[in-house]
Chain A
């Protein structure tokens, strides 16, 4: 239950309750919530997916629970390391560890999107290691000309729907698909609201809390998540906390292997409010609502091709877009600088970085860069880097309050 308006104490309690719920889900590497959902009715099935983007509407319409598999955080890796050389990122080894320790047995299907060659090859490894699981490599459309790829992507969606509904034994109608589209439209809108609220009042929505809430959305049914997230928005509005004189930063490059929670906390405690990021990007790769001007699969296909946000995982046909991307994001978030934070050995993030950074530097946007792994445990170096970055921004640009006072319309850079 949401507290009544103007009761900050109750609001604070409810916020703590929500964050604790989300943290429990985040820390539960046994996917207990998935097990509980499966146990609630006979014949239920769950479908896992790797980062970054899969069409969750299809999984949902087929009657399965979509479950994001985002690595193992700081879990101890015993067997997973034996499958990967030292120069491959950390994510696949923890995913293999989760698989080999039986923690992913609750998933009847696993989807591996075309994020990079590591995840691509992991799809084949899963076919060998987990022969009882339905495995599909989800080849996203990479194109010069979006219109050309609508049929291709629609075909992929139809194929996936056919296979997953065979898994559950359901006949999926257009109405089922529209229902799923509608509920994920709602989720996308709410995620956007949360991001907007953090951008406007980052002290009200600390990035750690936002992240935990979005991680919860990766494992619980969307219908269960929506009211909790709405509650979170409302209670944080009642008890927003007080602003600090922090620099505002966009964190770029952490779209696949997720940084440890401690890293997000460290950045904010060192004096940088995160006002935009790429974390769990799959939940908002498609921007806005799916159009309703055709059959549902075609509309879903069009939504990805025509409404996706810029990212490192889809081919960028516009030659200048990479250079413009950071200045545009910084402007939109009214940020002071950029932290490029990529997982070690992450080809998509690290190969994009020189282009993105060049664009940032051409616009005189202050930047720093570092690499992390999901199991990084020491944050001292990041604290120092982010602290110095925040100080230098404040020194050179003045505090945000001063800047906003001196800017003609307020808020402009």
Chain B
């Protein structure tokens, strides 16, 4: 039987795509935007609907459609070397723009490009704009090169929201900016965020009632996509939290493709996005070995709530700037290392693993240094595997399974030799927590 939260999520998504499909008739305006640094509350405060091309790309991957879409895009001249999310999205558009739930997706009324944590986003929307010939608005989010979002950078984001993004939304929707409405939506977001964080923190318990990577990607779905600032979002996270707390109280583990994982042999921290084309098979490689992921960085690409950030209705535009600046890949490499070290310590992990995806320079460039540094600072051996997000040509099941088996074997031997202590070799650097 499916959990209530799962049913709720399914229904929310289906309803969202129904509204998107009907948008050309109903007149609801559609804003294409990206996950990291999305401005969902602001978009919704104008009564518009967000549509996230990355989510479509990953859904295409899970439903076995990305291979064909990528081939379409490559036939049209896109390089084999670049991000496969872009090609899956462009291929889907070239094939009639039928979305993941089988409904036709409307063209954008506005491309809202918030440039957070990834350079490719900029090119992606330049490419879409060529096809859709629709208005585009750009929000530059400065990178945390020095480890923080500097006050002048925060001001710059607020200024752009006021002067560029809000006027663009006003023009497209024909509605004036309504700050009171935005505050209401931000308050809803903060409630859902509290519940999400309680869910993520539950993995500190042994056994962990959740898998924070494979399960985690479902948990973050609504809050990272179209449902921040909605009553449905609040309801979903309440339901999810209740279920997780029940499991925690009963000492039960999460459901996995191998059944319920109560007997947890390894507690892992994972860096990097998952593979979507063989998602369950990939998950099984962990659950079959009794490995549960207790913390992951991928579940922070759309916000680092577990380090304390909440949307703040008292400062509507400032809080959106803080949110955008704080998304995971907008942190510099030392900040990412600190976060991983902190996870290993807080969640008492036995190991940490990097899944390096070919598509994503934003994540992948520098991961081998991250591996060394986290090993050095925690005293825990790291594992490294390679795959891709939605290009099945880069998921070599046998290869990955081999590597994982050797990694788990090494952790087992280490444990037998008495080295299983998860305490970090060195304390995390002070003042680095994002």
Cβ A143 vs Cβ B365 within 8 A = no
Q: What total of chain B residues lie within 8 Å of the partner, measured CB to CB?
A: 52
Contacting pair B81 A121 (CB below 8 A): no
A85 near B368 (CB under 8 angstroms)? yes
A322: B residues at CB distance < 8 A: 126, 130
Interface residues of A in 140-158 (CB under 8 A from B): 141-145, 148-149, 151-152, 155
For window 116-149 of B, CB contacts with A under 8 Å fall at 118-120, 122-124, 126-127, 129-130, 133, 136-138, 140, 142-143, 145-146
Asked if residues B152 and A142 are in contact (CB atoms below 8 Å), the reply is no
Q: Which one, B81, B156, B369, B386, contacts A350 given CB within 8 A?
A: B81
Report chain B residues within 8 Å CB of A353.
77, 79
- Could you give, for residues 295-326 of chain A, a 1 whenever the CB lies within 8 Å of some chain B CB and a 0 otherwise? 00000000000000000100111010011000
Determine which of A123, A145, A354 lies in contact with B127 in the assembled complex, contact meaning CB atoms within 8 Å.
A354
Tell me the A112-170 residues at the B interface (CB within 8 Å): 112, 114, 116-118, 120-125, 127-129, 136-137, 139, 141-145, 148-149, 151-152, 155
Q: Which of B59-67, B157-165, B197-205 contacts A (4 or more CB under 8 A)?
A: B157-165
Nearest CB of chain A from residue B134's CB, rounded to whole Å: 9
Closest residue on chain B to residue A361 by CB atoms: B77
Q: In the complex the two chains form, what is the Cα distance from A124 to B146 in whole Å?
A: 9
- Judge whether B386 and A85 touch: CB under 8 Å: yes
Taking the complex as formed, is A368 at the interface, i.e. its CB lies under 8 A from any CB of chain B? no
- Residue A83 at the B interface, CB < 8 A? yes
A182 at the binding interface (Cβ < 8 Å): no
Partner of A128, one of B81, B152, B333, B365: B333
Tell me the nearest residue of chain B to A112, going by C-beta: B145
Cross-chain contact B332 with A137 (CB below 8 angstroms): yes
Q: Is the CB of A347 within 8 A of B82?
A: yes
Q: Which B residues are CB-close (under 8 A) to A259?
A: none
Report how far A353 CA is from B163 CA in the complex, Å.
32
Is there contact, CB below 8 Å, between A123 and B81?
no
- In the bound complex, do residue A319 and residue B160 qualify as a contact, i.e. CB atoms below 8 Å apart? no
Are the CB atoms of A347 and B332 closer together than 8 Å? no
Contact at B77–A347, with CB atoms within 8 Å? no
Contacts of B235 in A (CB 8 A): none
A315 partner, pick from B122, B159, B163, beta carbons under 8 A? B122
**Is the beta-carbon distance between A120 and B138 smaller than 8 angstroms?**
no
- By a CB distance below 8 angstroms, the chain A residues around B79 are 342, 350-351, 353, 371
**Would you call A83 and B119 a contact (CB within 8 A)?**
no
Q: Using Cβ atoms and an 8 Å threshold, which residues of chain A touch B126?
A: 315-316, 322, 352, 355
Contact A145 B164 (CB under 8 A): yes
A37 at the interface (CB under 8 A from B): no
Report how far A210 CA is from B102 CA in the complex, Å.
56
| Cross-chain contact B373 with A345 (CB below 8 angstroms) | no
User: B359-381: which have CB < 8 Å to A?
Assistant: 361-362, 364-369, 373
In the assembled complex, the Cα of A151 lies from the Cα of B367 at a distance in Å of 34
Is the CB–CB distance between A142 and B138 below 8 Å? yes
Interface residues as binary, B169-180 with A (CB distance below 8 Å gives 1, 0 otherwise): 000000000000
Question: Do B77 and A357 touch across chains, with their CB atoms under 8 A apart?
Answer: yes
How far is A151 from B115 in the complex, measured between Cα atoms in Å? Answer: 19
List of B residues within 8 angstroms of A87 by Cβ: 81, 358, 364
Q: Is A92 an interface residue (CB 8 A)?
A: yes
* Beta-carbon contact of A351 and B127 below 8 Å: yes
Asked if A21 is at the interface (CB within 8 A of a chain B CB), the reply is: no
Q: How near does chain B come to A36, taking the closest CB pair, in angstroms? A: 32
**In the bound complex, do residue A141 and residue B140 qualify as a contact, i.e. CB atoms below 8 Å apart?**
yes
Contacts A82-B368, A128-B334, A353-B79; A144 near B361 (Cβ below 8 A): no
The answer to whether A136 touches B145 (Cβ under 8 A) is yes
CB–CB B138/A117 < 8 A? no
Q: Please state if A83 and B361 are interface contacts (CB–CB under 8 Å).
A: no
Taking the complex as formed, is A346 at the interface, i.e. its CB lies under 8 A from any CB of chain B? Answer: yes
Contact A114 B119 (CB under 8 A): yes
Contact B138 A123 (CB under 8 A): no
- Least Cβ distance of B50 to chain A in Å? 19
| Contact status of A121 and B333, CB under 8 A, knowing A144-B137, A322-B126 | yes
Report yes or no: B369 in contact with A129, Cβ–Cβ below 8 A: yes
- B93 → chain A, closest Cβ, in Å? 13
Contact between A123 and B130, CB atoms less than 8 A apart: no
Minimum CB–CB distance from B202 to chain A (whole Å) comes to 31
B356 lies within 8 A of chain A by Cβ: yes
B83 at the A interface (CB under 8 A): yes
Q: Which residues of B contact A116 (CB under 8 A)?
A: 119, 361
- Are B83 and A347 in contact, with the CB atoms below 8 A? yes
Instruction: Please tell me if B20 contacts chain A, counting CB pairs below 8 Å.
Output: no
Known: A120-B143, A139-B145, A354-B77. A347 touches B334 (CB 8 A): no
A13 adjacent to chain B (CB < 8 Å):
no
B332–A124 CB distance below 8 A: yes
B78 beta carbon closer than 8 Å to chain A? yes
Closest Cβ of chain B: how far from A349's Cβ, in Å?
A: 9
**Which one, A118, A148, A316, A348, contacts B159 given CB within 8 A?**
A148
Determine whether A39 belongs to the interface, using a CB cutoff of 8 Å to chain B: no
Select the residue from A125, A151, A346 with max chain B CB neighbours within 10 A: A125
How distant is the Cα of A301 from the Cα of B118 in the complex, in angstroms? 24
CB closest chain-A residue, reference B137: A144
Cβ-neighbour of A319 out of B133, B138, B142, B145 (below 8 A):
B133
Judging by beta carbons under 8 Å apart, are B365 and A127 in contact? no
Contact of B156 with A92 in the complex, beta carbons under 8 Å: no
Instruction: Out of B119, B335, B336, name the residue touching A117 (CB < 8 Å).
Output: B119
CB neighbours (8 Å) of B337 from chain A are 128
Interface residue ranges of A369-397 to B (CB < 8 Å): 371
Asked if A124 and B334 sit within 8 Å, CB to CB, the answer is yes
- B86 at interface, CB cutoff 8 A: yes
A347 in contact with B369 (CB, 8 Å): no
With both beta carbons as reference points, the residue of chain B lying nearest to A158 in the complex is identified as B152
Evaluate contact between B368 and A84: CB separation under 8 angstroms: yes
With a CB–CB cut-off of 8 A, which chain B residues contact A20? none
Name the contact of B160 in the complex, choosing from A92, A112, A148, A355 (C-beta under 8 A): A148
A88 within 8 A of B: yes
Complex CA–CA separation, A352 to B327 (angstroms): 26
Q: In the assembly, what is the distance between CA of A128 and CA of B133, in Å? A: 44
**Any B CB within 8 A of the CB of A344:** yes
Q: Does B76 contact A (CB under 8 A)?
A: yes
Query: What CA separation (Å) do A141 and B136 show in the bound complex?
Result: 17
Residue of A nearest to B384 (CB): A85
Which of B122, B137, B163, B367 has the most chain A CB atoms closer than 10 A to its own CB? Answer: B122
What are the 8 tightest A-B residue pairs by CB atom distance, in nearest-first order? A124-B333, A137-B145, A351-B123, A350-B79, A121-B366, A124-B332, A117-B361, A121-B365
Q: List 30 A-B contacts (CB under 8 A).
A: A84-B365, A85-B368, A88-B364, A88-B365, A114-B143, A118-B365, A121-B365, A125-B366, A127-B332, A137-B146, A139-B143, A142-B115, A142-B122, A142-B138, A143-B140, A144-B136, A145-B164, A151-B156, A152-B140, A315-B115, A316-B126, A322-B130, A323-B130, A345-B81, A346-B81, A347-B119, A350-B82, A351-B120, A352-B126, A354-B76
Q: A152-B142, A354-B76, A354-B127 are in contact. List 10 more A-B contacts (CB 8 A).
A: A127-B334, A137-B146, A139-B143, A142-B115, A142-B138, A149-B140, A155-B156, A351-B120, A351-B124, A352-B126
